[in-house]
Structure 1
C-alpha cells in the first residue's frame, strides 16, 4: 500500500447499474479504498465529482446521456486535482487517445481482469499513466510528428462525430440520435454528411454498415 492509495476516495460514472455495483464491490474489497459517489449520466457525474472532489473518478466513455470525454473536460476546467481513469467496452483504438487528451491518466477495457483494474487504479492514483504498449507507441509517435504511423479512419472524427457514429452503429435513427443528444435533426444530418466525407463513403446505408461493423469489431 503506497501513500497515494491511503484512504483514497473514488466516484464511479457508468450508465449500467450492474457495472457500477460490480466496480464498487471490487474497489471496496481493497483496504482504505472508498466509493464516495456514483452517477449514470454526464451531468450527474459532473455534479457528484465537483461535490465530492474524489481522488479518482472512473468514467465510462459511453453514457446514456452525454459522454465521458466531455465529462472529463468539464470537470478538469473546474478542478484539475481529480484524477481520471477512463473505462469502456470499446477497444482503445476508438477512444483511448481522445480520453487521454481530455485529461484521463489511464484507459481500461471493461473486459480486463480484476487484477488489471486494481493495477490501473493504483497507477493512476500515483499520478502515473496507465496505457497499453500500443497506445504508448502511438502517443509518442504523434508527439514526435511521425506521420508514417497508420491512423485509424475514426481518428479523423471529432468527439461529437464519434459519438454520433457510435449511435448510428447502435441502429438509432436520425430523430432518435437528435433526441438523445438534445440536438436538431438538421444538426445530425449535417454530422452524417461530415462522417460520410471523412470516412469516404457515398450513402447513408454504407455509413450505417461501417458504423455497425466498427461497433462489432470494437466490442
Structure 2
C-alpha cells in the first residue's frame, strides 16, 4: 500500500529529528525544511500529501508560508504543530488554510491521529483547545479587525517585510522610503501596542491576523 508523503517544517533540528521517528513508521517523510521559504519551494517541487508546519520559523512564519502555498495548492493537507496553546493562533491558522492544529507538548499519537484525520478529509484540532475554538468561532473575530484597522497601510507594509526577515535598510529600499522612516514606523507601532521588541511585535501581528493586508504587490517571493 502506498504511504502518504509528508513534508515537515520546523527550525529546531532536534525537534524535527524526534518527529521523524514518530512519523516514519506509518508515513513517508520526504523532506525536512527549516524556514517558510524553503517550505514553499519543497511543496512546489515534491507535491506532498501533508505538510506539518510550525508557526514560528525564519524568513516566513508558518502561517504566511501556508497562505502562499494555498494560492496554488488547495489539495495538500496542512497541520500546524506548535507550542502556541492560544486559541487566537488556532483561529488564525484555520484562516490561513489549516486542516489541523496540534500542540508540541501533546502525545505523539495525537499527531498521528491528526494526520490520519486530515487525510480522510476532516479537520482536526487538539482536544485541549476544541471547546475554546468552538466558542471563539461562535462569537466571531471582531477584535482581529479592530487591530488591523489600528495600523496604517504603511505600517502594515513595514511590518509585513520585517516579519519576512528583512532589515530596516532593505525595507526602506523596497518601499522607496528612508531607513529613518522605517525605524519611525517600527517604534511607533511598538509604542502604540506597548511592545518592547520587534520579535514580540511580529508575534503579535501573526496572532491578530494583522499581516493579512492589502500589500501583496510590494514584493515578490524569490
Given that residues 12 and 34 in structure 2 are in contact (C-alpha distance below 8 angstroms), is that contact kept between their aligned partners in structure 1?
A: yes
Given that residues 52 and 80 in structure 2 are in contact (C-alpha distance below 8 angstroms), is that contact kept between their aligned partners in structure 1?
A: yes
Q: Give TM-score scaled by structure 2 length.
A: 0.68
- The change in CA–CA distance for 1:76 and 1:113 in structure 2 (over 3 A counts) is same
Q: What displacement does 1:188 show?
A: 5.4
2:91 paired with 1:97: yes
Q: Partners in 2 of 1:86 and 1:25 — Cα distance?
A: 18
Counting only pairs closer than 5 Å after superposition, residues 25-174 of structure 1 correspond to structure 2 as 25-30=21-26, 33-131=27-125, 132-142=130-140, 156=147
Q: What displacement does 1:119 show?
A: 1.6
Per-residue CA deviation, residues 173-206 of structure 1 (Å, 9 max, x unaligned), is xxxx753995345435414423543x4x4xxxxx
Given that residues 168 and 183 in structure 2 are in contact (C-alpha distance below 8 angstroms), is that contact kept between their aligned partners in structure 1?
A: no
Given that residues 87 and 132 in structure 2 are in contact (C-alpha distance below 8 angstroms), is that contact kept between their aligned partners in structure 1?
A: no
* Equivalent pairs, count: 181
Given that residues 106 and 129 in structure 1 are in contact (C-alpha distance below 8 angstroms), is that contact kept between their aligned partners in structure 2?
A: yes
Q: Partners in 1 of 2:169 and 2:111 — Cα distance?
A: 30
- The change in CA–CA distance for 1:14 and 1:139 in structure 2 (over 3 A counts) is same
2:171 paired with 1:183: yes
Q: Partners in 2 of 1:108 and 1:189 — Cα distance?
A: 38
Q: Match of 2:220?
A: none
Q: Partners in 2 of 1:23 and 1:84 — Cα distance?
A: 16
Q: Match of 1:208?
A: 196
Q: Match of 2:6?
A: 10
Q: What displacement does 1:52 show?
A: 0.9
Q: What displacement does 1:14 show?
A: 0.9
Unaligned ranges ≥5, structure 1: 168-176, 202-206
Given that residues 94 and 154 in structure 1 are in contact (C-alpha distance below 8 angstroms), is that contact kept between their aligned partners in structure 2?
A: no
Q: Partners in 2 of 1:79 and 1:56 — Cα distance?
A: 11
Kindly report the root-mean-square deviation, in angstroms, between the aligned alpha carbons of the 2 structures.
3.5
Q: Partners in 1 of 2:90 and 2:182 — Cα distance?
A: 26
Unaligned ranges ≥5, structure 2: 150-154, 173-178, 205-222
2:191 paired with 1:193: no
